[in-house]
């Protein structure tokens, strides 16, 4: 009899402790997007594509705010050859899915030649870079960041011209400030 009372008592205490935690977790889930949505090809979630580099347009498909910062997904459309320099995201995994065109993606010591339908995963903390290799035609890739970090905010700032006229040191400092 005493054992049964002990188990019932422990169960009641555990329920009392977890109930507030469940309520708090439920409140946070209410901040997330609660409806599905469709973003058409060549369209942006906010209906304002970002133009980061000459000939490069980012179309946000899943905004950081949609997932409470858990993930950011965008489509990058590149007209010219090239891509970003070798860099590291200390806290974000990155995944690339090639929609159209040909790219080279370097992750750590590995260099991957990829085309439509291929994907590459880049773990957080590992140096990486990618480049569109075909000179003619459009290259398109879907990129996912998990967690989102500050990439969306940084990309928006770039698109709005915040970095124009800044020195290389100032641009690097800005990336560090945003944990990029």
Segments making up each domain of the chain, as ranges: 50-164+172-177
The whole-number pLDDT of residue 91 equals 92
- What is the tens place of the pLDDT at every residue in 130-149? 999 977 789 999 999 999 88
For the chain, the C-alpha Rg in angstroms (whole number) is 22
Burial of 148 (0-12, 13-18, 19+ CB in 10 A): buried
Tell me which of 62 and 149 has the higher pLDDT.
62
pLDDT in tens, 72-109: 999 999 998 888 889 999 999 999 999 999 999 999 99
Mean pLDDT across the stretch 156-168?
Answer: 75
Residue 75: closest CA among 93, 49, 53, 94 = 49
Identify the band that residue 1 occupies on the pLDDT scale cut at 50, 70 and 90: low
What mean pLDDT comes out for the span 103-120?
97
Identify the pLDDT of residue 162. Answer: 74
Q: What is the pLDDT of residue 114?
A: 97
44-73: string of b/e by CB count within 10 Å (b at 16+)? bbeeebbebeeebbbbbbbbbebbebebbb
Q: Which string of b and e fits 3-16 if b means at least 16 CB within 10 Å?
A: eeeeeeeeeeeeee
Fold designation for 50-164+172-177? Jelly Rolls (2.60.120)
């Amino acid at each position: 009899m005493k054992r049964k009372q002990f188990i019932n008592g422990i169960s009641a205490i555990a329920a009392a402790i977890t109930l507030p935690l469940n309520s708090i977790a439920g409140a946070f889930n209410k901040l997330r997007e609660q409806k599905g949505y469709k973003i058409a090809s060549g369209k942006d979630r906010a209906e304002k594509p970002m133009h980061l580099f000459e000939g490069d347009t980012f179309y946000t498909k899943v905004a950081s705010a949609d997932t409470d910062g858990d993930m950011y997904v965008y489509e990058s459309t590149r007209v010219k050859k090239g891509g970003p320099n070798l860099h590291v995201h200390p806290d974000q995994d990155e995944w690339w899915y090639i929609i159209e065109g040909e790219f080279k993606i370097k992750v750590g010591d590995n260099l991957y030649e990829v085309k439509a339908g291929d994907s590459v995963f880049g773990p957080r903390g590992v140096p990486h870079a990618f480049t569109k290799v075909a000179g003619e035609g459009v290259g398109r890739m879907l990129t996912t960041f998990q967690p989102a970090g500050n990439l969306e905010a940084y990309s928006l700032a770039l698109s709005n011209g915040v970095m124009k006229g800044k020195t290389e040191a100032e641009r690097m400092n800005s990336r560090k400030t945003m944990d990029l």
